[in-house]
Structure 1
Amino acid sequence: MLGERPAVEPEAFPASKVHLLPDALRWEDVSRGRFDPVFDDYVSLVGNTLHRALDDDRTPEDGFVGNLAAKLRSVPSPDFLRVALSPCFTSRLLWQPATSARGALEFLDRALHVEAVISGRERADCDAWTALGDVKVLRSGEILRGVGVPGLPPLDFDGPNITDDLPTGGADPARFGSLSGAVRPTVIDRITVAWEEITATSEAVADFVAKFVQVIVPRCDTARTRFSSGSYRQYIGRVVIGNPHAAGAGHVAHAEALVHEAIHALLYMALYPVSWGVRDPRAYRPGERVVSPWTGAHLQLSSYLQACFVWYGLVHFWDLARQGETFGDGDRARCRRDRALGGFVGPPLLDLLGSDNRALIRADVVDAVESIQDRVLSRFG
Structure 2
Amino acid sequence: MKSKSIACDLPDVLSEIHRTTARWNIPFGPACDSMELAYRKKLAIHVGNVAGVALLNADEDGEECACVDLLTNCTEDVIQTLLDTPAVAARCYWERNRYHHSEIAKFLKDAILLLSQDKNSTGWTPLGDVFLKKGIAEYIAPRIEGIVIDTVSPSRLEGSGAGPWRDFPPETSDIQIEAKQLISSAIELLDKHCATASEFVRRELRVVVPRSTDSAGSSSTISYPGRAVLDFPKRGLTVGEVAEALVHESLHTLLYKLEAFHHWVDDGPAWSQKITSPWSGNKLSLHAYSHACFVWYALAGLWFQLDGVDETVLGVQPRFRMWGSVKGFLNDALHHIEQEEALSIAVRQGCRALQSDIVDWYG
TM score, norm. by length of structure 2: 0.85
Q: Deviations over 1:64-103 (max 9, x none)?
A: 5555445335534343222223111111111122872332
Q: Describe the superposition over 1:116-167 as per-residue Cα deviations: whole angstroms up to 9, x where unpaired.
A: 11xxxx42x1321111111111127243212222x14111111122347842
User: What SS does the corresponding residue of 1:232 show, helix, strand or coil?
Assistant: coil
Q: Quote the offset at 1:289 in angstroms.
A: 1.7
The aligned amino acid for 1:186 is: E
Pair 1:18-2:7 in alignment: no
Q: How do 1:110-121 residues align onto structure 2 when only pairs under 5 Å count?
A: 110-117=110-117
In structure 2, the partner of 1:9 is none
Q: For residue 291 of structure 1, what is the aligned residue in structure 2? A: 276
- Following superposition, the deviation at residue 168 of structure 1 comes to 7.0
1:131 correspondence with 2:142: no
Letter of the 1:53 partner, please give it. Answer: V
* Residue of structure 1 in register with 2:267 after alignment: 280
Name the residue aligned to 2:258: 270
Residue matched to 1:252: 240
In structure 2, the CA distance between the partners of 1:229 and 1:261, relative to structure 1 (3 Å rule), is same
5+ residue gaps, structure 1: 1-12, 170-174
Q: What are the equivalent positions in structure 2 for 1:210-221 lying under 5 Å apart?
A: 210-221=202-213
Larger CA deviation: 26-35 vs 43-52: 26-35
Provide the residue aligned with 1:367 in structure 2. Answer: 349
Question: CA offsets, 1:268-310, max 9 Å, x none?
Answer: 11123444x112243332xx32111111111111110000000
Aligned to 1:146: 141
Q: How far apart are the structure 2 equivalents of 1:232 and 1:104?
A: 19
The aligned amino acid for 1:195 is I
Query: What CA distance in whole angstroms lies between the structure 2 residues aligned with 1:299 and 1:87?
Result: 24
Counterpart of 2:151 in structure 1 is 157
Percent identity over paired residues: 21
Distance 2:211 2:308 in 1: 33
* Aligned equivalent of 2:33: 36
Q: How does 1:1-381 map to 2 (within 5 A)?
A: 16=10, 17-26=13-22, 27-59=24-56, 61-62=59-60, 65=64, 67-94=66-93, 95-97=95-97, 100-117=100-117, 122-123=118-119, 125-139=120-134, 141-149=136-144, 151-163=145-157, 166-167=160-161, 177-221=169-213, 225-242=214-231, 244=232, 246-275=234-263, 277-285=264-272, 288-322=273-307, 328=313, 332-347=317-332, 349-352=333-336, 355=339, 358-381=340-363
For 1:214 and 1:258, the matched residues in 2 are separated by 11
Task: Confirm or deny: 8 A CA contact 1:293 1:342 kept in the other structure.
Answer: yes
Tell me how far apart the structure 2 counterparts of residues 141 and 329 of structure 1 sit (CA, whole Å): 40
**For this pair of structures, how many residues does the alignment match?**
349
Distance in 2, matches of 1:268 and 1:166, equals 15
Indicate conservation of the 8 Å contact 2:123/2:133, yes or no.
yes
- The structure showing larger relative contact order (alpha-carbon pairs under 8 Å, at least 6 residues apart) is 1
Q: Work out whether residues 303 and 319 of structure 2, in 8 Å CA contact, stay in contact via their aligned partners in 1.
A: yes
Given that residues 93 and 104 in structure 1 are in contact (C-alpha distance below 8 angstroms), is that contact kept between their aligned partners in structure 2? yes
- Once residues 65 and 158 of structure 2 are traced to their aligned partners in structure 1, the CA distance between those partners, rounded to angstroms, is 35
Runs of 4 or more consecutive aligned structure 1 residues displaced over 6 Å after TM superposition: none
Contact kept in structure 1, 2:216 and 2:237, CA below 8 Å: yes
Over 3 Å counting, the alpha-carbon distance change for 1:327 and 1:319 in structure 2 is: farther
- SS of the residue aligned with 2:219? strand
